[in-house]
A and B are shown apart, each in its own frame.
Chain A
Amino acid sequence: MDTLTFLLSGTLLAATPLLIAALGELVVEKAGVLNLSIEGMMALGAAVGFIVVSNTESYWLAIFIGGLVASALSVVFAAVVLLTLGNQVATGIAVGILGLGLSALIGQPYESMTVAPMARLPIPLLSELPIVGRGLFDHVAVVYLAPLLAVAVWFMLMKTKLGLIVRAVGESPESAHAIGYNVNAIRFAAILFGGFMAGVAGAFISVASTTLWANGLIAGRGWIVVALVVFATWRSGRIVIGAYLFGAATIGELLVQSFGLAIPSQLLTSVPFIATIIAIVLLSMDGRSIRLNAPVSLGRVYHVTQ
C-alpha cells in the first residue's frame, strides 16, 4: 500500500459512514426536524450490527438490522418531538444518551471482540488501474453504494412529488397542513429514515471498517455528521463533497504526522476542524445559497391549535 492508495482508500473508508448518516439527517432536517441523536443511533447500530455478524456471519443482514434497530430508537425521538411537542435539541441529545447507554448495555458481552472483515468487491478492470485502482475500486460494496445513495436522496428530494412534500413540510408546515398533508406522518417517516441511515452507518463502522466492537467506538462521529449537514448547506451534492473532504483531512492529518515534522501533533489533530470552519466561512460569505436551502421551520415545534 503506497501513500496515494492509502490516502484514497482511507478517505473513502472514513467518509462512507459520515456520508450515509448525513444523508439520513439531511432528509430529517429537510422535513423541518433537527435530530441531534445521531451519535447514539450510530452507536446502537454499530453494537447491533456487530452482534448480528458475530452470531450469523451475515454482513448485509447485520447492516440492515443495525439500521432497523436504530430506526426503532428514532421512534422514541419522533414520538417525543411530534406527539408531545418536546424540544428537538434537548430530545435529540437525550435520545442520543439513551442510544449510547443501550449500545454499551447490549455490547457488554462483546467488548473488544473482533469479527472477520467483510468481503471486498474489487471492481473488475477499474481496480487494476495504475495509481488509483486499488485506492478507489477495491472496497466493500457499501463504499460504492454510499455516493449512489446520495444521488437517490437528491433525486427523491428534488425530483419527486414525495420530495416536494417533504420540503414543503420543512419550509412551512402550516401551509403543507392547509393543503391537506399530514405533517406529523411525513416527519415521522423522515425521522425513521434518518434513524435507519444512522444505524447503517454505525453498523458499517463496526462490521466493515474497524471489525471490532468497543464501548465508545463512534467517538464523536455522530456530531461530525450533524456538522456535515450544516456544512453542506442542506444539499446532497455538497454532503458528498463535505464527507470526502473531511475524510481526507483526517487521513491527511495522520499521514503528515507520520512524516515526522517538528509541529505539535495536537495542532495537526486540530487541522480538520479548523479547515471545516474556514470552508464554512468561505461557503457562507454568499448568504443566498443558505437561505435558499435551509429549511425554514428547522427545529421549530409544529403545533396546530385549531
Chain B
Amino acid sequence: MHFKTLTWLAVAGTLFTAGAAQAEEMTIGFIYPAPVADVGWAKQLDLGREAIEASFGDKVKTTVVENVPEGPDATRIMNQMVTDGADFVMLGSFGYMNDGLRLAGRNPDVSFLHASGFKQTDNFGTFTPRNYEGFYLGGLAAGLVTKTNTIGMVGAFAIPEVVAEVNAITLAARKANPDVEIKIIWLNSWFDPPKAQDAARALVSQGADVLFSLHQDTPSVVNVAEAEGVYVVNTGSDMSAYGPNAVLASVTMDWTDYFVREVGAALEGNFNGSDFRGGLSDGAVKVKAWSKDLTADQLAQIKDAEAKLMSGELHAFAGPIKDQKGQERVAAGANLPDPEIFGMNWLVEGLEGSLPN
C-alpha cells in the first residue's frame, strides 16, 4: 500500500510539474531536411537550436524532426508539431514554404522561421545566408593560389542561391587572377556523394587545382581534394578535419545569434515575421579554416577584402559586371540589388555552360 501511494504521488507530481511547466515554457519545433551529422546544413541549424537552449534554459523546450524531404509529407510533420503544441517552428528547407505559409495563416499565435524563402507574414519570417560574400573571399583565395589557373565547382542544382555563389567566386577569382578559367558540374541529384566525388575527380582531370564544394552536406568533395592533392572551399561547416591539407577555407553559417534573437522576441510577445539576410557583417556567414599554405601577403589581401565587405566599402556584385554573353548587367558604380542577387539566373562573363530558361 505504502509503495502504491508513493507511486501515485510520484505520478501526480510529474503531471503537476509537467502541467505547470507547459504553461510557461515555449515549445520550439525544428524540421531539418537531412539527418543531423557532425557537419552540414542541418548541423549548423542544430547549433542554433543548442544556442537557444543554452540562452533560455527552462523557458524553452525544443524538439527536432530530421530527414524530412520536401514535398507533401513535410506538411503533415509541421502540422503535427503545431497540433502537439509548438509555439515556434523553424522550417529548415526552402521547399517547406507554401505549406508553412498556409499553416502560419491558420495559426496566428505560432511563430515561424523559414530558411531561404521569399514570402513573409506577421508570424512567418525568413532567413537566408549571404553565402556569396563568403564565397567571394573563397574565390579570391582560389585565384591567388591556383597554379593551373583552373578552378572547378561541384553543385547540386543551379538554384539562384548557388548561381550567385558561382558568380561571386568567378568575379573574385578573376579579379585576383584574370587568366583563371572556371568549370562547373551540376549533379542534378538530391543526394549522391559518389557522384559528387566523380565530378570532383573529373574537374581535377581537367586541370582544376582548387575545387568548390557548393552545398554538399557530406565531406565527399573534400575527401577527393585531399586524396588528389588539390585545394577545396566547402559550404556549411568547418571541414578542415576531413581535409587538413586540402581545405583552403570553409564558408560556414552561424544561426546562433539570429535564432536567439528571434526566440527572445517571441518570448516577449514581439515576434514579427521579417526577412533576415545575414552575411559576413552580422556573423551569420563566417569563413573559417583558412589554409596555412596561404602566405601572409595573400591572407592580408583576403582579410582586407573581408573587412571591406563587412563595412560595405566593397560589394561582391559591384559594377561593372557583364554576363557570359557580354551584356552589361550592373553598371559601373552600382551594386546589384538584393532581389536580383537572390533571383540570379545568369552567369557572369568568363563562365561557360548554360542555365535553363
Contacts and interface: CB of A to CB of B under 8 A. Distances in A.
Interface string A180-211: 00000000000000000000000001000111
B40 A112 contact: yes
B194 A14 contact: yes
A209 B202 CA distance: 15
A167 B192 CA distance: 36
A210 B193 contact: yes
Given A117-B227, A205-B194, A254-B199, A6 B205 contact: yes
Interface residues of B, number: 43
Given A14-B194, A210-B193, A217-B193, A262 B354 contact: yes
A86 to B, nearest CB: 27
Interface stretch (A67-75, A89-97, A263-271, A294-302): A263-271
A287 interface: no
Contacts of B187: 269
B186 interface: yes
B169 interface: no
A3 B202 CA distance: 8
Given A5-B205, A14-B198, A215-B67, A257 B217 contact: no
Interface centre among A3, A219, A263 (most CB of B within 10 A): A219
A258 B37 contact: no
A108 B353 CA distance: 38
B39 interface: yes
A258 B206 contact: yes
B183 A258 contact: yes
Contact of A258 (B67, B194, B202, B219): B202
Contact of A1 (B67, B218, B228): B228
A108 B35 contact: yes
Interface string B128-163: 000000000000000000000000100000100000
Contacts of A14: 194, 198
Given A112-B219, A114-B223, A257 B35 contact: no
Contact of B189 (A112, A113, A219): A219
21 contacts: A6-B204, A111-B37, A112-B219, A113-B37, A113-B38, A117-B227, A210-B197, A211-B223, A219-B191, A219-B193, A219-B194, A257-B202, A257-B353, A258-B184, A258-B202, A264-B356, A265-B353, A266-B188, A266-B356, A269-B187, A269-B189
A-B pairs, top 3 by smallest CB distance, nearest first, are: A260-B352, A6-B205, A112-B37
Interface of A: 1-3, 5-7, 10, 13-14, 104, 108, 111-114, 117, 205, 209-212, 214-217, 219-221, 250-251, 254-255, 257-266, 269
